[in-house]
Amino acid sequence: MRPNSQALKHGSSHDTEREFGGALGALCIPVSLPLTVLFLIGVSRSPEASVFQWPPPLPSTDQLWDPLALVLLLGWIALHALLYVMPLGKVSEGLVLRDGTRLKYPINGFHGLCVSCVLLLLLLVLGAPLGSLFELLVPLAACAIAASFLFSVYLYTRSFWVPSHALALGGNTGNPLYDFFIGRELNPRIGNFDLKYFCELRPGLIGWMVINLGMLMKEVELRGSPSLAMMLVNSFQLLYVADALWNEEAVLTTMDIVHDGFGFMLVFGDLAWVPFTYGLQASFLVVHPQALSPLGAATIIALNGLETIATATGKRLLVSGWWGIVRHPNYLGDLLMALAWSLPCGFSHLLPYFYVVYFTVLLIHREARDERQCRAKYGLAWDSYCRRVPYRIFPYVY
């Protein structure tokens, strides 16, 4: 779930422009975002489900720990690490690195999703209580947050033993806080196992689908059958994940892989933020069921269907008209899709629309990064394109 790279050049990056608020952001974000994850989970499970309630519904310390949560998290990561190294699918090469080499990547994430689905189906047949994931959400999130910090410390430490050409230019500033946050090493690997590429689309993204299924099964326990709203949320988000993994090769040219180092920002995003905040709609619906008419469902399905055109992965047949209207039609499609995920939850609460608000801010920030990099890469040609297509994401607005 990241566009375009910048032209990479040799040399130190101590004078590189710092992003996300620089050192201050690198200090505040690793504190605020984990608390935000726990806060949002607490709000989704509370009777009021109000993001403005005070005191905020943060979990107590005894609610943060459950040994089963740690076993499930480590077992899940181990399963997908095993699937990653299995000889399934093809092997593709990434873009040329600063030392002239190209790394090889296994394109087998969709196979991992299929195996996960088969295992989940088997667990359902055997009567496994997948609905208990609802009660385990907080300790699972706490374990994922702790794992993100520990993993980031390992990545930062090991980066001092790699050659300079293996460092990300933006993460080699000399400021320990900022470099820990943004990531020093560009492509950390253990042998041929690429740690960043593995985390990008595997345990967190597929784990998000498992959590959604757990919420659906909890609703079945409580009410006898899943609601139409819950089925739409599960279906839309499963389609999104399946599409991302089916087109896994496209991630090799994204900013995350080509430009950003692998530090706390990406680790936490991949392992904690995505699985525990992107699916808030499902956990919300467990406690706050919503009635949805067939006409309402059809309208929402149609809205989600627009995303197929707007976020196509570079195929000329699907995007030729959109790129002449806005410079980033894929972002517009992402936002329409995000809205479709939230609409089944109705309009009585703001929480289900957190993803829409967050994603709007994220994409506007990402679009600004894209603009800087494309202008540096394409020069006058990019300026000419901007004059021809003045709107960035929203036609006639922005």
Query: Rounded CA gap, 283 and 72, in Å?
Result: 19
Query: Rounded CA gap, 228 and 113, in Å?
Result: 24
Q: What is the pLDDT of residues 320-346, one digit of tens each?
A: 456 567 776 777 778 888 899 999 999
**Residue 211: predicted pLDDT:** 97
Residue of higher predicted confidence among 58 and 397: 58
Residue 38 and residue 58 in contact, taking contact as beta carbons nearer than 8 Å: yes
Query: Rounded CA gap, 324 and 389, in Å?
Result: 6
In this prediction, residues 104-113 reach a mean pLDDT of: 95
For the chain, how are helix, strand and coil distributed in percent, rounded to 5? 65, 5, 30
Q: What is the pLDDT of residues 347-360, one digit of tens each?
A: 889 999 999 998 88
Query: Rounded CA gap, 48 and 44, in Å?
Result: 9
pTM for the predicted model, two decimal places: 0.85
Evaluated on CA atoms 133, 241, 236, 368, the torsion sign reads positive
**Residue 361: predicted pLDDT:** 86
Residues with Cβ within 8 Å of residue 266, at least 6 apart in sequence: 183, 196, 199, 200, 256, 260
